[in-house]
Structure 1
Amino acid sequence: MERRDIEIFLTLAEELHFARTAERLGVSGARVSQTIKQLERRFGVALFQRTSRQVALTPVGNALREDVQAGYQRIQEGIAKAVAAGRGFTGTLRVGFSSPLVGEAIMAAGETFRARHPDCEVRIREVHLSEAFRALRDDELDLQITELPVQENDLSSGPALLRDPRMLAVSARHPFARRDSVTVEDLARDTVLVPADAPAYLLDTLIPPQTPGGRPIQREKVLTSRQELLTLVSGGAGMAVVGGQATRYHARPDIVYVPIVGMPPIEYGPVWPVGGQTSRVRSFLALLLAELDRQSFLLAGLDR
């Protein structure tokens, strides 16, 4: 049964009057009569008893109404909730970030969002690259600001919101620690620690498998948080390609951050489930963009 057929059947079962059913649903009386006749032909049994004076449900029609009513009500409630979530600013907006550079702006945008929409709670959490998009897929997040590109069939992404110059994190005892800069070719001279379980295309964007000169870059995957990664670097287990934000948020006496010449900056942008760009998400992104502008971050690829 189509949704409209169910509506006509259930309304007639309640009104027991063709004209009132048509008026209530905003359709013609002929449409109501035709729909019921089609259903009866499909089922091979009468659903209503009709006389010149009254309309009544048959036993089969009454049983069908009882079976259909509860399920149809749940469908209607689900649709209403989806519409409310898409149009309104109630409930909870869950936002994830993979970088403290983005996290700082997200926190500020969240405060503004709460002030404007007090009926909508904002929850913010960090997401590690080792988990990539798990939280989005498990319906734990509505929006994530993360490293680009994103090439997932079930996820949509927006343009880059900001860029962060790449740097090489090395132990203070490493030979590169005395350098003013390094090149991409230098990445082939030691092990580069990378997050485990990150999508291959994203990993290749962040740290290519070989240098422009064709030398292989030895990448070692470690399932680790950012702090654990830096601890491994400080202990001499390898190097790590990071954003320049590390000098602000992760300054350590046992680690030196050396600029990498010849590599494009790391780009960060919004990601959400396909079909999940609600008005709440759009409003939050607008506030986040305004906050990034206020903080004078380097913006890229934005349609103002």
Structure 2
Amino acid sequence: MDIDTRLLRYFATVAEEGHLTRAAERLFISQPALTKQIKQLEAQLGVELFTRSRTGMSLTDAGRMLAERVPIVLEDWDIALRETRGAASRASHVLRVGFVASAANESTQKIIGSFARYRPGWRVEMRQTGWSDPTAGLADGQVDVALLRLPFPGQDALRVEVLITEPRWVGIPSTHPLAELAEIPFRQLWDEPFVATPTESGWWRDYWLATDERGGRPVKIGAIAQNPDEWLTAIANGYGVSLTPEATARFYQRPGVTYRPVTGVSSSQVGVAWAPAGDNDAVIGDFVRACLRHRTPTTVEPDTRTPREEAGSG
């Protein structure tokens, strides 16, 4: 019997969390979709894996047996998949770099230039994903390394070096009365409808809605956007406002959208991220070293350095 590894991954997350809602947030999918996938796995195996109750999901005897073995299977498969894809890209001297929106802002081209000097003959292939995957393909091995907005779900399981720290601004319809202000206190935005990322993006969505910085005030959702173009269109059409990095005002100009600094809300960061398996990969190490050469002065220095960075400043 052949089982989709995606179903096993979903099962393992539910088994670990013991709760569908928390598992769905970790997996960046909706709870109904996750429920459907678990039922599909049970149907294929012909056994019941969970006992469902109001308090959560508890494993059956069959579920516990599967839960003991699935993590090993998934780990071996992830390693095989990552090494297979990595071997293909290495053979063609291509480094796959994921990103979601503006990558590392204006430093992106400088980073690629430094990497090219470290690795003559190599090419950086930039791969952009939608907002439903804040890891930009890093979590499932689609890319070797990524330039990402921090924080993001799954960050604790990866290696991350902070490169940029910048304030959060707000994108607002140009006709909105608040657009006349030079800067906007976040408190004045609490009752505004917001343009949000998809629910699949988990607590990354909550971060950009600043749910923890509203004094307990609930968020009003005016529209959902999958990517920057949908986001800009929703704001220009007056469906809502949205917090965004300061760099967005430079990279994403659109008629009908005005950007303003926001006070009373925390800053945003950009980091370079890679899987722990890449610690001994000299090519990934050189890319990280290139990133660190162009860290912005406002960024707080990290407590630790990558092995490649310790070897020399380049």
TM-score (norm 2): 0.61
SS of equivalent residue, structure 2 residue 232: helix
Going from structure 1 to structure 2, the CA distance change for 1:218 and 1:283 (only over 3 Å counts) comes to: same
State the Cα distance separating 1:287 from its structure 2 match. 0.9
- What is the match of residue 300 of structure 1? 300
- What is the match of residue 10 of structure 2? none
SS of equivalent residue, structure 1 residue 177: helix
Structure possessing the higher radius of gyration over alpha carbons: 1
Deviations 1:101-148 (A, max 9, x none): 615322322223223322433211223322323622443211111111
CA contact (8 A) 1:101 1:245 kept: no
Going from structure 1 to structure 2, the CA distance change for 1:150 and 1:89 (only over 3 Å counts) comes to: farther
- What is the match of residue 147 of structure 2? 145
- What is the match of residue 260 of structure 1? 262
Matched pairs, number:
219
Q: Aligned AA for 2:138?
A: L
- What is the match of residue 63 of structure 1? none
Q: 2: distance between equivalents of 1:268 and 1:153?
A: 12
Going from structure 1 to structure 2, the CA distance change for 1:213 and 1:275 (only over 3 Å counts) comes to: same
CA contact (8 A) 1:169 1:239 kept: yes
Q: 2: distance between equivalents of 1:251 and 1:158?
A: 29
Equivalences for residues 1-304 of structure 1 within 5 A: 91-100=93-102, 102-133=104-135, 135-152=137-154, 155-209=157-211, 211-220=213-222, 222-277=224-279, 278-293=281-296, 298-303=298-303
Q: Aligned AA for 2:161?
A: P
Q: Aligned AA for 2:286?
A: S
Q: Aligned AA for 1:271?
A: A
State the Cα distance separating 1:100 from its structure 2 match. 2.1
State the Cα distance separating 1:239 from its structure 2 match. 0.5
SS of equivalent residue, structure 2 residue 154: coil
Going from structure 1 to structure 2, the CA distance change for 1:291 and 1:201 (only over 3 Å counts) comes to: same
Q: 1: distance between equivalents of 2:171 and 2:155?
A: 33
Going from structure 1 to structure 2, the CA distance change for 1:298 and 1:200 (only over 3 Å counts) comes to: same
Superposition RMSD in Å:
2.9
Deviations 1:84-114 (A, max 9, x none): 97xx997321112223261532232222322
SS of equivalent residue, structure 2 residue 158: strand
Q: Aligned AA for 1:189?
A: D
State the Cα distance separating 1:230 from its structure 2 match. 0.9
CA contact (8 A) 1:171 1:177 kept: yes
SS of equivalent residue, structure 1 residue 275: helix
Identify unmatched segments of 5+ residues in structure 2: 1-79, 306-314
State the Cα distance separating 1:302 from its structure 2 match. 2.8
TM-score (norm 1): 0.63
State the Cα distance separating 1:220 from its structure 2 match. 4.7
Q: 2: distance between equivalents of 1:259 and 1:154?
A: 30
